[in-house]
Amino acid sequence: MQRDADALRDAGVTGVSVRLETPRGTVTARSGVGDLVSRRPVPKDGYLRLGSTTKTFVATVMLQLVGEKRLSLDQTVEQLLPGTVSGAGNDGRTITVRNLLQHTSGLHDYIYDVFPNPSAQTYYANRWHAYRPEQLVAMAMRHEPAFPAGTRWAYSNTNYVLAGMIIEKVTGRSWEQQVHDRILRPLGMRDTDTPGTRPFLPHPYTANYQQFTADGPMADTTIPYRPFDSGADGSMTGTARDLNRFFAALTSGRLLEPTELAAMRTTVPVPQDSGHPAGTGDGLGLFFTPLSCGGGYLGHGGSGFGYVIRGAATTDGRRAITVSAHSRSADPHTAARQEDALRNLIDHALCRTE
């Protein structure tokens, strides 16, 4: 695993951290530096931005509500949030909760509205601005849907902004409160948080760096871009220790009853051009990815300016891994090499026999 972490560093990532839990114990690896100024080591079990891995927590709460008969996967968005999804051909009467959680709604992804011009200047100019969920959905509603609900798959953060709104509508409490009460507290995940618009990570952490143009400088993007890093689609923070505990508990059936876990694990194919490995399927807030040794793993990734994180567990929950890479390249060839190195690391770690 250290060799694979070093390979990710050698592909240009400034800082890398890996934590693998197995029945025989924990294995960790670190490579690169904690920041480019002091060149300090990557900290042990540092705090991380979980990015879109937040979606798996939100989906878990939604499926717990389904199990409690407070929600149905076949309910429409219009039934739950009347008038919210409409205009420009969008119709909440045709989009179900399942469509939202599985990215088959066809809804436009609002992130293209809040970051229209990829540049360091846009990042620095707008990173402190935050939107309410209703504002983000309204932006998306200005665009026609990409396809009729249920007919195709396309990743859209708007889906999970709506999911967070539905949790609050159904329970009377925010999605953040529900995640704390239903997942973080029962599992003892004391180092995981839902910070909302609070921008600073607890210490220790590794600095994140984004290259906005090929051959351009690395910009320190440790401060998140709050227009899309502050809601139910991607705002949580935590540690690799906690994230492994979550995925192990989820995949082994400790958070959901068998019927709801089976629904979460029922996938639709992900298109080949979506950036995922061949054979990947998307369930409800949980991706299935094939392993080279047979079978596959369940998990979710997250990314923002300057970081990529992947959390995953074998289908029986016996092995769980979190990989965090703390810089991103604007050069497509370099980015592809880094993605290949990250996938290889996970594949080797989860395929290794006891």
The secondary structure of 95-151 as a DSSP string is: -BHHHHHHT-S-PPPTHHHHS-S-SHHHHHHHTT----HHHHHHHHTTS--SS-TTS
Instruction: Tell me the one-letter amino acid at 320.
Output: A
Q: What is the Cα 117 distance to its own chain's centre? A: 23
DSSP 298: E
Instruction: State both tokens at 112.
Output: 């293209």
327-328 and 209-211 beta bridge pairing: parallel
The secondary structure of 326-343 as a DSSP string is: -EE-SSHHHHHHHHHHHH
Are 310 and 299 spatial neighbours (Cβ–Cβ below 8 Å)?
Answer: yes
Distance CA 13, CA 272 (A): 25
Catalytic residue among 31, 52, 105, 235: 52
Known active-site residue 52: yes
φ/ψ (deg, to 5) at 14: -70, -40
**Of 156, 302, 153, which is closest to residue 235 (Cα–Cα)?**
302
- Find all residues with CB under 8 Å of 13, minimum gap 6, and list them: 32, 325, 326, 327, 338
Distance CA 162, CA 139 (A): 13
Distance CA 121, CA 118 (A): 8
**Of 39, 92, 7, which is closest to residue 323 (Cα–Cα)?**
7
Catalytic residue IDs: 52
